Amino acid sequence: MSIPLLTVGIPTYRRGEVLLNTLQQLLRQRPAPFEILVLDQTEHHEPSIEAALTELDRSGSIRWIRLPYPSITYAMNQALLHAKGEVVLFLDDDVKISPSLVVAHAEQYADPEVSVVVGQIIQPWEEALPVGAEAFWGGKTDDPDAFRFNSSERRWIQRVMAGNLSVRRNRILPLGGFDENFVHVAYRFEAEFSERVLAAGEKILFEPAASLHHLKAEQGGTRSYGHHLTTVRPSHAVGEYYYLMRSKQVNRRFLKLLTRPLRAIKTRHHLLHPWWIPWTLLSELLGFIWAVKLYLDGPKMLKVGGLKGEGWGVER
């Protein structure tokens, strides 16, 4: 069985020790990944972290790519452009990975039908589901968003999670990679990407053998934008508004677009802290206005060009 060369891409933002721990786990994988790219959006690291990353880069253990601004979708597109492997595996920077995670991803690409693989993701409050357990919340097998990524059964699925996601590079680049209009928290960028992949006739495989535990570090990453219940910033709201404007596959999407502000304040938090209601509604309004601008500008994706990066760029 021929296993393709696999590049690991780790977008990271304001993470230190937890990032280094993730890298050390990857470097212990056997067989090792072909290369490890660290897509670093952090403005300044602590001296000890800076020194450690510098040494890893100097020794060839990683390729440390500094990026000018924080954006998960921009960082993932940069990984696609810089990668030398046939397959690119995206991982969160705050994870505990299984010893065979890399090879479990790579082996799936022996099947030419496979374009995208999502591995098992176990959140801090979860355990892996036993084989035979219901893999969809509430048994909603017709709802792509109801799939439980801590499932233990291999199957074709209709959604991805970017924290344990691999792609066949030569099939995803022509689709434009990831839409960089999903900004800040980038909520729903995975749903939009999934729909675009499936619409192109490609398939998404869930492989539980490629397993990891998401540590959900309290600082850095998307947590840098605050908690969605206690912020006036539109960072959490803009993504879903933009997705609902763009997607053609969401049932009653215009109704969902119009009723999102009400759903945003229909929470236990707002019941117990009603003074947050006007601030949340302001956040929703700002997110909607921002999403309208992004929608009118058009999607921001990679343009079609050479598969080794020549002629590739971002266009609207």
237 and 265 housed in the same domain: yes
108 and 33 housed in the same domain: yes
251 and 212 housed in the same domain: no
Can you give the pLDDT at residue 309? Answer: 45
**Rounded distance, CA 261 to CA 287, Å?**
10
156 and 267 housed in the same domain: no
143 and 11 housed in the same domain: yes
Total number of domains constituting the chain:
2
148 and 118 housed in the same domain: yes
Reported as half-sphere exposure (CB side, CA atoms, 13 A), residue 173 has a value of 22
What contacts 3, CB < 8 A, 6 or more positions away? 103, 106, 107, 109, 110
Can you give the pLDDT at residue 258? Answer: 92
The per-residue pLDDT for range 246-289, each reduced to its tens digit, is 998 888 888 999 999 999 999 999 999 999 999 999 999 999 99
Classify residue 145 by its DSSP letter. Answer: G
The three-state secondary structure class of 61 is: coil
35 and 157 housed in the same domain: yes
112 pLDDT band (50/70/90 cuts)?
A: very high
Q: Which of 220, 246, 262 represents a domain boundary (last residue)?
A: 220
Alpha carbon distances (Å) from 31 to 102, 114, 211:
8, 21, 16
Specify if 306 maps to a domain.
no
What is the domain range of residue 68?
6-220
Q: What is the CATH number of the domain that holds 214?
A: 3.90.550.10
88 and 171 housed in the same domain: yes
30 and 167 housed in the same domain: yes
User: What is the reported pTM?
Assistant: 0.92
Specify if 313 maps to a domain.
no
Specify if 314 maps to a domain.
no
